[in-house]
Structure 1
Amino acid sequence: MKKTVHLRITGHVQGVGLRYSVYQKATSLGITGYAENLYDGSVEVVAEGDEESIKELIHFIKTGLRWARVDNVEERWLEYKGQYKDFRIY
């Protein structure tokens, strides 16, 4: 089933390649959306795609980022709307 999730990732997550790593993983999983640095030092990710693929992406964010220190991943699941054609970094 297709879903959309809005993530807010906190910790030492800017300037460490997190957005690019998320982009690579999301693209490999067929997920669309974006990753963006926020002014408060967190990273926002919006991901659309297969629910299991999104869960795999979230697991990767929590455990697979070598240079980042992820303290928290806030998840907000939303209805799938198909708003994105690809995955982008802002």
Structure 2
Amino acid sequence: MDEEVNEEVRLTAWVRGRVQGVGFRWFTRANALEIGGLTGFALNLGDGRVQVVAEGSRENCHRLLEWLRSADTPGQVTGVTEIWDTPRGGYGGFAIR
């Protein structure tokens, strides 16, 4: 189990609801940095969703996903869709785009 928890993964999540104009990307970045060991970005999409891409250990990506689905986020999240993949790398940190 330990190997699976520490496995490096790529999480891509699409967050629906009132998540633009409420500091959602900034708080997502702050949370990713607090969790630690995550790189990626948060991006506002034209349809009102926020796309979050995070690469790091499976455990830390799950922690970020749990936060995205929690009541602690700014605005109002009505749903989160995610996919898991292998990391592609190339991120210097966690950016707001």
What's the TM-score bracket when you normalise by the shorter of the two chains? over 0.9
Alpha-carbon RMSD across the aligned residues, in angstroms, is 0.9
- 1:61 and 2:68 aligned: yes
What's 2:8 paired with? 2
Moved over 3 A (4+): none
Question: Please, what TM-score do these two structures have when normalized by structure 1?
Answer: 0.93
* Alpha-carbon separation, structure 2, partners of 1:6 and 1:83: 15
Among all aligned residue pairs of Structure 1 and Structure 2, give the percentage whose two residues are the same amino acid.
Answer: 36
The one-letter code sitting in structure 1 at the alignment partner of 2:11 is V
Name stretches of at least 5 consecutive residues in structure 1 with no aligned partner. none
Aligned counterpart in structure 1 of residue 20 of structure 2, from 2, 14, 20:
14
SS in 2 for 1:21: helix
TM-score (norm 2): 0.87
Structure 2's unaligned 5+ residue stretches are 1-6
Deviates more, 1:32-41 or 1:75-84: 75-84
1:44-86 superposed Cα distances (whole Å, 9 cap, x missing partner): 0110001100100011111121x31111111010112222120
Give deviations 1:15-52, integer Å, cap 9, x for gaps.
11110110001112221000010000000011000110
What is the letter of the counterpart of residue 85 of structure 1? G
Letter in 2 for 1:21: F
Give the greater-gyration-radius structure (CA): 2
Corresponding position of 1:35: 42
